[in-house]
Structure 1
Amino acid sequence: MLLQLSAEFEPQSDVVPWLLSQTPAAALDTFEKSSTTLYIVNVERNGKIIYTWKGSGGNTCIGLYDPLNKENEHLYTFEKDLHIISCSINNEKTLLAVSFLQSTKEERVNHLLQPVSKCLTLLIEIHPVNNVRVLKAVDSCIRVQFLYPVADRNPFPDSHLLLISEDKYIEQFHIHVVTEEPHKVVIQNPGQLPRDRVADDLIWAQWDMTEQRLFYIVPKESRNILKCVQFYPDENFNLVLEVPLEISLSDTGLKFVNFGYDYYQDQKMEPRSLNLQVFTSKTGSFCLCSCEAPDVSKDVTYSVSFLHKGYSKSFTVALQRTDYPQVKEVAFLNLDYYVAVYLPGHFLHLLNTQHPDLMCYNLFLTGEDAQINMLHSSSIQSPFKSAVWDCCSGRIFTVRINECSLVKFLWNSKLDSDRLAALHCALLHVRNTADLEMQIIQWISENLSACYTFDPIQEFIIASLYWAMCPETSKLEKLLPYTSLLYWNGIIPGITCITDIISLPVLKVQNCKGFWEKLNLNLECVKYAEPHLHYNNNVLRREWFKLLSEEKAEERGSTTYMKNIFENAKKVLSNLAAWNVEERLVPLFQEEDYQQRLLMGLMVAELKDHLMRHLQYVERKKIDQIVLDYVSKLLDLICRIMEAVWRKYNLQSCILCLGERGSAAEFAAFHIMSRILEAANGMCLPLPPGFHTLHVGVGVRCLPLHTLLHYIDNGLLHLTEACAMKLLKDLDNTEKNEKLKFGIFTRLPEAIGHKVCRLWNHPVTSNFIARNYVKLLLDKLRNKQRNRPVADRLSVHVEFLPLNYLVDMLAAVEEPGLNSVEGADNVNAKFVEEAALKQTTLLLEL
C-alpha cells in the first residue's frame, strides 16, 4: 500500500468516552443505544472539529474537539430533535453559527398558526450563552462558515461569517462584539449586522479553509467561468482570478465542496452527476479535477485540468473487477505535489502537479498497491493538504506516501514508467534522507541494464539536484533541468490519456504575494516558452571541446578567463570538502585532472550566467552559492554512487596494484564506473578528479589487453598522466607488460606523452623522442625557408625505406610550394635511422 493513513480523529475513542463521562449513570444505557447519532458536522481551519449528538431526552447537542489538547467541550444544546445542516464557530469561540431544518411534525403543528420556514440559520452567543440572532429563515438550505485569520496574524477584531445559500448566492456578515462584563461577550447592534454580497448566480462552490479562498462557478452563454475570491485579515476580499472552463455543468442546483457535511442529505442523495474539485499547492500549481459518476461495469473517465500549465488531461481506465460494490464517486485527494485519484477496489493514480507533461511521472497503481487501509467509504473529503475526512464514519486521517512501500514498489516494478515515477516520487517526497538515497543507489547498481527508455544514473543525478536545489528560491525550479529525458512515448497499461489545450487563468490583482505570485510565475513561463528557460549543456559542451583543443589551450591557458575558470573549480572542490569530513573509501580527488577541473569551472560559469539572466532580483552572492552547491552536490552524488559500489563489493580503498588480476567484484565495479562515465558524457557532467585514473586502473586489472585497447580507442576509457606514470613505474619489462605499455604509450595524448616518455627505457620512447626532435628541427627549417621557391627543393634519397617514409611524412606537413627539405642536411640522420629501425623491428616482431 503506497498511501498510508494515520488517524488524527476517531469519534469512538476521542469523543464517546467523554460523552459517557458527562451522562448521568441512569441514562448511560439509553445513550449507548443512541451513540450512533454522533456525527461530524465541520472541521475548522485550526483543526478543531464540530460534532453533534442526540441527548437522552431527544435534545440536539453540539460539541467541539480540540486535537491539539485532546479535549472536548460542550458548546450548545437545542431542546429539540433537529436536523443540523451546517455549523461553524469563530476563532475566539464566542460565536456559534448554526443552520438546521425544522422537523416535519413541527411544521404541521404550526402551519395553521403561522408559516414555518424550512431552514433556520442562527447566530448564537455562547461564551457565555446569551442572545440568539436569526440570520435567515428560508425554505432553501444554508451553509455557514466563519472566516479565520491566517496563522501568523493576530485574530480578527471582528468576526466574519459566510452564508452560502442554495438560492445561488453568497453573503458575508460582519459581526462586532463588545465585552459588557468580565467574561461576557455581546454582539453589538445585532439587528443591523453589516453584510456584503460576495457572489451571485453560482452553480458550484468550494471553500479552501487553509488559504481562506472561495472558488465558485457561474454559468455564461458560451461556457462556464471559474472564479476565485481571496479573503484577507483586514476584512477585505478581492476577486483575484477568472478562467473559462470547457466543462459543462448541469444547472440543477448549487453543489457544495468542503462546506462541512450533512449526513442525512448524503444518505438520500443519488450518485452525483459530476464530482468537481479544485486543488492548489505551495508551488503555484492549480488543478481542477472532475469525474462523472463511475459505472463499475464500464470504463471510468476523469479529467485533471492543469490550469497553471494551460492544458488538461483526460484519463480513461478500463476496470478489471466487476465484483466490487458500487461507489458514488471517484475520490480526489490533495497531496500537495500530487493529486491522488482513488477508486476503492480498482486503482490509485498519483498525478505529478509540478511536471504533468510526461505520463512517466505519474504513478498508476492497481491491486494491493492501490489499497488504502481504513478508507472504504465513498463519502470522502480532502479539507486540508494531505488530509482525508471519511465523512460517514467521522474519522479524519493524515495521508502520506509510505517510504518503505515506495522503495518496494521501485524494486518490484517491471515497467520503465513505474520505475521513473517511483524514483521521482521518492526524491520529491522523502528527499534529504541519506538512508533512502542509499537504497535508490543500491537499486540503480542492480538495475543499470533493466531500464530501456532512460538512464537511471542520469535521472537520479539530475532529479536529485533539482529537488534538492529548488527550495533555494521561488523561480529556480523553472531554470534547472528536472529530467534527463527530452520526451517519453511509452504507454501505461490499462489507462489511456488525451491532452487538450485550455485557456489560461487571468489574474485580476497586481503585485500579488504567496500562492498567487507563484501561480503568476507559472503562467508567465507558459506564455513565454518555459522549456527554453531550463539550463542545458549544449553551450557548455561546445566551449569545453573548444578549450580542450591544443591551440586554444596554448592561446588562453594563461589568460584571465582561464584563471577564473580554474578558480571556479577550486571553489567547488573546497565547498565539497567542507561537506565531507569523513574519509572517502574510493581513492578520488588525489590528482589535478586538468580536463575535469576545466569542465567544473566552465559549468560554474555557464550556470551562473544562466541564473543571473533570469534571477535579476537575487543578489550575486546568493547566486554564486547556489551554483557552487549545485556543482558540488553533483560531484558528491557521483562519489556516493562510487562509495556504495565499493562497500557493496567490499573493495579496498586502493586497488590500483596493476601487477595483479582483478576479481569478479572489481569487474562489476568497472562496469558501473563505465555506466557512470557514459551518463556523464551524455549530459556533459564533470566527474571527480581521479575518476578516469581509477577507471583505467581497474580496467587494466580486469580486461584482456585487446579489450582494454579497444575501450581506449572507442573513448570508453580516458588515459591520464597519473595512470600512465603509475603504469610505467609499477610494471616491469616482461613481454606481457611491454605489450601493455606499448599499447598504452602509443595511445597517449601528445601533451601527456611529452611528460612521461622518458620514464620508460625502451625503443618506443627513443622513437618518440626522435620524432619530436625531427619535428622541432623541421619546424625551425620551415620558418627559415618560407620564401624559397618550390624549384629549389633538394631531392634527398637514402636507401633505407623506414627513413624515406619518415622524411616523406615530415615533408607532407610543410606548407605546399614553400618549404624545402634542403634542411635535411642538418638532421641527425643516424639517430633517426636507428630509431626507425628499432620501431620496424618491434612492429615486425623480429
Structure 2
Amino acid sequence: MALRLVADFDLRKDVLPWLRAQRAASAAPGAEGDRDVLETNYESLRVLNVERNGNIIYNYKDDERNIVFGLYDCQTRKNQHLYTFEKDLQVVSCSVNREKTLLAASLVKSTEEGRRNELQPGSKCLTLLVEIHPVNNVKVLKAVDSYIWVQFLYLHVESHPLPQNQLLLISEEKYIEQFHIQVTQEDGNRVVIKNSDHLPRHRIAEDFVWTQWDMTEQRLYYIDLEKSRSILKCLQFYADQSCDLMVNQEKLCKYLTLCVFTNHTGSLCVCYSPKFDSWEQITYSVFYFHKGYSKTFTAALGSAGSHGTQGITFLNLERYVAVYLPGHFFHLLNIQHPDLICHSLFLTENNKTNDMLPHSSFQSLSGSLVLDWYSGRLYRAFLDQSYLLRFLWNTSLDCEKMAILHCVLSCGQDPQFLEGQIIQWISENVSACHSFDLIQEFIIASSYWSIYAKTSNVDTILPYSSVLTWNTEIPGITLVTEEIELPLMKVHSFKGYWEKLNSNLDYVKYAKPYLCYNNSVVKREWHNLISEEVCMRQGEQKPRLTLLLQEEDNHQKLLLGLMVSELREHLLRHLQGVEKKKIEQMVLDYVSKLLDLICHLVETCWRRHDLQSSVLHFNRPRSAAEFEVFHIMTRILEATNSLFLPLPPGFHTLHTILGVHCLPLHNLLDYIDNGVLLLTETAVTRLIKDLDNSEKNEKLKFSILVRLPPLIGQKICRVWDHPMSSNIISRTHVTQLLQNYKKQSRNSMMDKSSFSVEFLPLNYFIEILTDLESSSQALCDFEGHDNVDAQFIQEAALKHTTMLLDL
C-alpha cells in the first residue's frame, strides 16, 4: 500500500513481557493458577499519553482492580512503574513531567461496563497532582463533574535540574488553565511541591469549542466563538513563558472532524470534514493558510453499499497530508505545492490499495507519528517508495504519473536509487505522457528537490515543476478553490516556525509577479551577447559534470556560463541574509544536477539498448537500437531547448553521429537546417575520416560541409583529401588574399616555363597570387594555412575543372 506504518512502540511487545516478568517474580512459588487472571487483567492495558520526549504512559488494572501507571522510556527502551491508585477508577487523562517526579491524572469512577459515566449525577472527575519520586503526597487540583484533560509542558530548559513545572488543564466546561508548580528537593532525592496549598494559576481561554495539542512543538490550538464567527487561535509555549498568538477567522466549529497540521517549512493546514450526508460522495476541505487559499474536495465513493464505521482520517506526513476512508479512498495531498491538483495523488478502491489500510481509529501526532488507541501501537508513517514505483509503471493516468514523480523525489530516503528507477521508467515510457513533458518535469523537479533542504524559501524562487496550469479532470474528484483571509499573527518573536510561516505569508501578499527563476532571462541575454570572450569569462566556474565524450563544447560552455551567472544573481537578489559563498555553491550544485540528470538519461538508454562504442564510427550499418536512442536524445533536446537549458559536452556530437546513422540524407539535412541536429567539429571530423569517397558519401560530406560555420568548415576541409575539399579551401584562401587587393597596371613578365598548362586566364591569376604571397605581411596574415599557396590553388582549380568536365 502507499502508506507504510512502522511500529515504534507496541504494548503487546514492549510492555507485556516486562509486566509478566514482574508478576512472575512477585508471585508465590507454585502459584500457576493466576495465569488466567493475569491475562484478563492485562486486557485493560492501554496507552494514555505520549510526551514530547517520546516517553509513553500506559495503565492497566491489577487483580484488585487498582489503577497502575507505567512509563516506557523510548531512549532506553525500558519500562518503569510510576504510581498505583488503590481504587477502582477509570483514567480520563494523565501526564508526567520531564523529571518523572510529578504525575497529573484525571480519574472517574468506573461503571459496571467499564466505561466512563459523565451523565451520572454526582459523579466526580478528580484531577490529582501526585509526588512520585519518591511517592509522597497527593493534591487535588479539581473535583468537578466535567472531564479534565491534563498535560505537562516540556519546555526546552536543560540547565535547571528542577525547573518550574507548567501544567495545562483543559475542561469540558470550555476553559483552559495553566498551573505553575514549584518543586523543592529535600532529604537528598525527596521532591516536594512548594506551597502546595496555593498553586499559582491563570486562565488562558474561555468558551472554546475545540482544542488540539501539538506535543512536539508545544502548541495548543483552540477555537473561540466570538459573535457569529469562530476564531482559530494558537498558543506557543516557550521557556520564558511568552505566548505567541496566531488568529484567523473562519467558520470551523460546525465540522465534525478538524485537524491542524504544520511542518518545519512554515506550512499551516487546517483539514476538516462535515458529517456525511450520504454514502454516494464525501466532501472534505483543506485550508492552506500558508498559501492563501482553500480547496474543497468531493470524492465519489466507488461502491455505495460498502459503508464503513469510521469517518475520514487525516494524517500528517510532513510534506503531505494523507486523507483516507477505509475501503473507499486514499488521498495524498501535497501541502508544499498544492496549487495544481496533479501534484496530489488520489487513489480509490479500484486501485486495490485501501483494503490494506488499517480500519482502526488513528490519531495523528506531531511529525509523522500515528497512534492507534485500540491496539496500543505507536507508528511512524512513511510513504512506501516500492509501492509508488510499481504504481508508476502500471498507471495510465498522466495526473497520477505527475503526482508519483514528485512524491518519490520529495520523500525518498535514497535519492540516487530512486532517480535511477525513474530514469529507467522514462527510458521505456518517454512518450507515455500527453499532458506534460515527462523529461522536462523530471529534470526540473529532481534538480529542485536536490537543493531544497539547503535553504528556506527555495520553493518561492526556483521552479519545482515545468507545468504552469492543469485543466485535465481527475476521475472521481471534483475540486473547488477559494481565496481565504490570511492569518493575523500577533507574535512576540518571529523565530523558528513562525519566521518561516511569516515569510510564506509575505510571499503571498507581496510577491507579484512571482519570484521563481525563469531561464528566459538566459535566452534573452544569450541573444544579446556581443562576443565570445564575454561568455568565456562568465563560464570560468564550470560545475562538475559527467562527460558523455571527452570534448570541449564551446557553445554549451558559453550557455552554461550564462545560466550560472544569471541564476547566481537571481538567488543573491532574493535570498537576503544567506552567505554569498553558500549561494554560489547552491548554483553550482543546481546546474551540475541538471547536467548529471541528462547524462544519466542518455547513459541509461545506452545501456538499456546495449549499444557499444563502435556506434561512434560511421562505417557500419545502423540498428533499431540506435534509432531508439536517437529518438530519446531528440526528445531530451526538445525538452531542454524549450527550457533553454545547457547540455553536457558531447551531447550534440553523439546525437549527430546517431542521426547520420539513422536518417536518410534529406531528413538528416532537414534536422540540421531546423536546428534539431547541431553540427560539431568532432562529429563532422569523424564523418569525413570514417566514410570513403563513394558517390553517396561525397554527396553527404559536401552537404554537411556547406552547412558548417566558416571557421569550422575550413578546419574540416583540411582533413578531407578530395577535389571538392581542395576547391573550398582554395576559394576561402583566395577570398581572404584578395579582399584588399588593388589592381595595378603592369607588364607581364611571367615565366611560362613555370606553368605546366597553357591556360592564360589561370596563369595570370596565379601570377597575381604569387606576387601577393611574396609579401611578408601576407605570409603573416595567413599563418597557419599550411600547404595552401598559389601552386595549391592552381592544382585544385585544374582538378575541379577536370571533375566538372568529367575528363
Q: Shorter-chain TM-score: what band?
A: 0.7 to 0.9
Deviations, residues 239-282 of structure 1 (Å, cap 9, x unaligned): 3311111x3424xxxxxxxxxxxxxxxxxxxxxx5100000011
Instruction: Find out whether 1:351 has 2:351 as its counterpart.
Output: no
Q: Structure 2 vs 1, CA of residues 775 and 222 (structure 1 numbering), >3 Å: closer, same or farther?
A: farther
Structure 2 distance, partners of 1:531, 1:129, is 64
Output the aligned Cα RMSD: 2.8
Tell me the residue number matched to 1:305.
287
Tell me the residue number matched to 1:253.
none
Q: Structure 2 vs 1, CA of residues 576 and 128 (structure 1 numbering), >3 Å: closer, same or farther?
A: same
Report how far residue 757 of structure 1 moved.
2.9
Tell me the residue number matched to 1:667.
627
Q: Structure 2 vs 1, CA of residues 706 and 755 (structure 1 numbering), >3 Å: closer, same or farther?
A: same
Q: Structure 2 vs 1, CA of residues 222 and 712 (structure 1 numbering), >3 Å: closer, same or farther?
A: same
Structure 1 distance, partners of 2:159, 2:479, is 44
Q: Is the 8 A contact 1:478 1:530 kept in 2?
A: no
**Most deviating of 307-316 and 211-220:** 211-220
Partner SS, residue 655 of structure 1: helix
Tell me the residue number matched to 2:545.
576
Structure 2 distance, partners of 1:374, 1:677, is 43
Partner SS, residue 224 of structure 1: strand
Q: Structure 2 vs 1, CA of residues 53 and 840 (structure 1 numbering), >3 Å: closer, same or farther?
A: farther
Structure 1 distance, partners of 2:157, 2:468, is 41
Structure 1 distance, partners of 2:709, 2:414, is 41
User: Which of 21, 28, 47 is 2:35 aligned to?
Assistant: 28
Instruction: Find out whether 1:76 has 2:120 as its counterpart.
Output: no
Structure 2 distance, partners of 1:845, 1:612, is 67
Q: Structure 2 vs 1, CA of residues 431 and 49 (structure 1 numbering), >3 Å: closer, same or farther?
A: closer
Deviations, residues 767-814 of structure 1 (Å, cap 9, x unaligned): 544654676578648999xxxxxxxxxxxxxxx9xxxxxxxxxxxxxx
Report how far residue 662 of structure 1 moved.
2.2
Instruction: Find out whether 1:564 has 2:527 as its counterpart.
Output: no
User: Which of 688, 701, 707 is 2:648 aligned to?
Assistant: 688
Kindly provide the amino acid, as one letter, of the partner of residue 749 in structure 1.
Answer: P
Instruction: Find out whether 1:204 has 2:177 as its counterpart.
Output: no
Partner SS, residue 480 of structure 2: strand
Partner SS, residue 545 of structure 2: helix
Report how far residue 33 of structure 1 moved.
2.6
Report how far residue 39 of structure 1 moved.
2.1
Report how far residue 103 of structure 1 moved.
5.1
Structure 1 distance, partners of 2:471, 2:442, is 20
Structure 2 distance, partners of 1:104, 1:348, is 38
Report how far residue 333 of structure 1 moved.
0.2
Deviations, residues 254-312 of structure 1 (Å, cap 9, x unaligned): xxxxxxxxxxxxxxxxxxx5100000011111100000133562210000100000000
Report how far residue 675 of structure 1 moved.
1.2
What's the TM-score, normalizing by structure 1? 0.83
Tell me the residue number matched to 1:7.
7
Q: Structure 2 vs 1, CA of residues 22 and 611 (structure 1 numbering), >3 Å: closer, same or farther?
A: same
Structure 2 distance, partners of 1:845, 1:64, is 103
Q: Structure 2 vs 1, CA of residues 768 and 397 (structure 1 numbering), >3 Å: closer, same or farther?
A: same
Q: Structure 2 vs 1, CA of residues 153 and 782 (structure 1 numbering), >3 Å: closer, same or farther?
A: farther
Q: Structure 2 vs 1, CA of residues 840 and 136 (structure 1 numbering), >3 Å: closer, same or farther?
A: farther
Q: Is the 8 A contact 2:243 2:492 kept in 1?
A: no
**Most deviating of 668-677 and 292-301:** 292-301
What's the TM-score, normalizing by structure 2? 0.87
Q: Is the 8 A contact 2:232 2:249 kept in 1?
A: yes
Q: Structure 2 vs 1, CA of residues 699 and 54 (structure 1 numbering), >3 Å: closer, same or farther?
A: same
Q: Is the 8 A contact 1:101 1:119 kept in 2?
A: yes
Q: Structure 2 vs 1, CA of residues 216 and 710 (structure 1 numbering), >3 Å: closer, same or farther?
A: same
Which runs of 5 or more structure 1 residues have no equivalent in the other structure? 106-114, 251-272, 578-583, 785-799, 801-827
Structure 1 distance, partners of 2:505, 2:161, is 33
Q: Is the 8 A contact 1:346 1:370 kept in 2?
A: no
Tell me the residue number matched to 2:60.
53
Instruction: Find out whether 1:186 has 2:192 as its counterpart.
Output: yes
Report how far residue 653 of structure 1 moved.
4.0
Partner SS, residue 298 of structure 2: strand
Partner SS, residue 533 of structure 1: coil
Tell me the residue number matched to 2:221.
215
Structure 2 distance, partners of 1:374, 1:35, is 27
Using the aligned pairs only, state the percent identity. 55
Partner SS, residue 138 of structure 2: strand
**Most deviating of 696-705 and 734-743:** 696-705
Q: Structure 2 vs 1, CA of residues 505 and 154 (structure 1 numbering), >3 Å: closer, same or farther?
A: farther
Kindly provide the amino acid, as one letter, of the partner of residue 393 in structure 1.
Answer: S
Deviations, residues 733-783 of structure 1 (Å, cap 9, x unaligned): 111210110121122223322332333344544554465467657864899
Report how far residue 67 of structure 1 moved.
3.3
Tell me the residue number matched to 2:73.
66
Partner SS, residue 121 of structure 1: strand
Deviations, residues 103-123 of structure 1 (Å, cap 9, x unaligned): 579xxxxxxxxx956211100
Structure 1 distance, partners of 2:610, 2:362, is 51
Alignment of 1:431-830 (within 5 A): 432-509=414-491, 511-529=493-511, 532-547=514-529, 552=530, 556-558=531-533, 561-568=534-541, 571-572=542-543, 575-576=544-545, 587-588=548-549, 590-653=550-613, 655-769=615-729, 772=732, 776=736, 780=740
Structure 2 distance, partners of 1:576, 1:446, is 25
Structure 2 distance, partners of 1:54, 1:450, is 61
Tell me the residue number matched to 1:109.
none
Structure 1 distance, partners of 2:801, 2:286, is 73
Instruction: Find out whether 1:370 has 2:374 as its counterpart.
Output: no
Structure 2 distance, partners of 1:489, 1:836, is 68
Kindly provide the amino acid, as one letter, of the partner of residue 380 in structure 2.
Answer: T
**Most deviating of 433-442 and 339-348:** 433-442
Q: Structure 2 vs 1, CA of residues 432 and 605 (structure 1 numbering), >3 Å: closer, same or farther?
A: farther
Aligned residues: 746
Q: Structure 2 vs 1, CA of residues 505 and 338 (structure 1 numbering), >3 Å: closer, same or farther?
A: same
Q: Structure 2 vs 1, CA of residues 30 and 625 (structure 1 numbering), >3 Å: closer, same or farther?
A: same
User: Which of 235, 238, 256 is 2:243 aligned to?
Assistant: 238
Kindly provide the amino acid, as one letter, of the partner of residue 545 in structure 2.
Answer: L
Which runs of 5 or more structure 2 residues have no equivalent in the other structure? 113-120, 745-760, 762-789
Tell me the residue number matched to 1:120.
126
User: Which of 247, 253, 260 is 1:249 aligned to?
Assistant: 253
Report how far residue 132 of structure 1 moved.
0.5
**Most deviating of 536-545 and 305-314:** 536-545
Partner SS, residue 308 of structure 2: coil
Q: Is the 8 A contact 1:712 1:719 kept in 2?
A: yes
Partner SS, residue 72 of structure 1: strand
Q: Structure 2 vs 1, CA of residues 514 and 782 (structure 1 numbering), >3 Å: closer, same or farther?
A: farther
Tell me the residue number matched to 1:171.
177
